[in-house]
């Protein structure tokens, strides 16, 4: 039971790390996020950080989102403390937007490397057989989950980071950005696909502790 709780907390943690990657990449460019949402379902906690970003934690740790200015749904501007007003996301250069989009997967990949490396430093003989009921097993699982989140978000499906990067590539090749209406349609289609994947992921996530850790 304890390991299942730790794994669930780790699930939230990997999503937080992912959004922090996006958030700090954006802030480095003077572009803050209005909202960060962690999870799916009813809200269980909400707070506003020192930069004015509203964080919301929801019940199921199976998705996350960083709501920057000039997303498909128009949002008001937000000024960083001690900084000039941020530019709209679509007004950033291609490299700047790619930098922000890659921030999340990079943060997850870095976390995965640290946790998996820590597992083998602590136990050089660690194997998958030792996943069950061991602290190293939990560390390895959370690291693997973080790696999976990084790879999943690089899939070329809007509104995932990979899908957005494909849209940037199209813009770079054609010299014209995809218009807002087309972007919204792509996002809706991608959202349907991801809803199915998210549901399956939620079932797998909560089944995993009973399958592996008992």
Residue 67 has which token pair?
A: 């709501």
Judged by average pLDDT, the poorest of 25-29, 42-46, 79-83, 95-99 is 79-83
For range 91-100, the mean pLDDT: 93
- Altogether, the residues listed in the chain come to a count of 214
Say what the pLDDT of residue 72 is. 44
> DSSP secondary structure string, 62-97?
EEEEEEETTSSS-----PPTTSPPPPPGGGS-HHHH
Give the pTM: 0.81
- Tell how many helices (H) and how many strands (E) occur in the chain: 5, 2
- pLDDT at residue 191 greater than cutoff 60: yes
For range 164-174, the mean pLDDT: 95
Q: Are 136 and 130 in contact (CB under 8 A)?
A: yes
Domain ranges of the chain: 2-212
């Amino acid at each position: 039971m304890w390991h299942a709780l730790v794994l669930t907390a780790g699930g939230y943690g990997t999503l937080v790390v992912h959004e922090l990657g996006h958030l700090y990449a954006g802030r480095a460019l003077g572009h803050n996020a209005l909202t960060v949402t962690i999870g799916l379902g009813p809200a269980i906690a909400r707070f506003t950080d020192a930069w004015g970003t509203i964080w919301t934690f929801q019940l199921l740790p199976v998705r996350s989102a960083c709501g920057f200015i000039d997303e498909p749904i128009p949002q008001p501007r937000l000024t960083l403390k001690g900084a000039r007003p941020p530019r709209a996301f679509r007004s950033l250069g291609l490299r700047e937007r790619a930098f922000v989009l890659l921030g999340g997967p990079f943060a997850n990949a870095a976390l995965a490397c640290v946790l998996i490396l820590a597992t083998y430093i602590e136990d050089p003989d660690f194997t998958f057989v030792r996943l069950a009921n061991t602290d190293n097993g939990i560390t390895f699982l959370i690291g693997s989950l973080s790696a999976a989140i990084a790879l999943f978000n690089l899939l070329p499906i809007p509104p995932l980071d990979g899908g957005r990067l494909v849209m940037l590539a199209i813009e770079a090749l054609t010299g014209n950005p995809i218009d807002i209406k087309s972007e919204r349609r792509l996002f809706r289609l991608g959202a349907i696909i991801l809803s199915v994947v998210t549901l399956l992921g939620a079932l797998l996530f909560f089944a995993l502790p009973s399958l592996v850790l008992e």
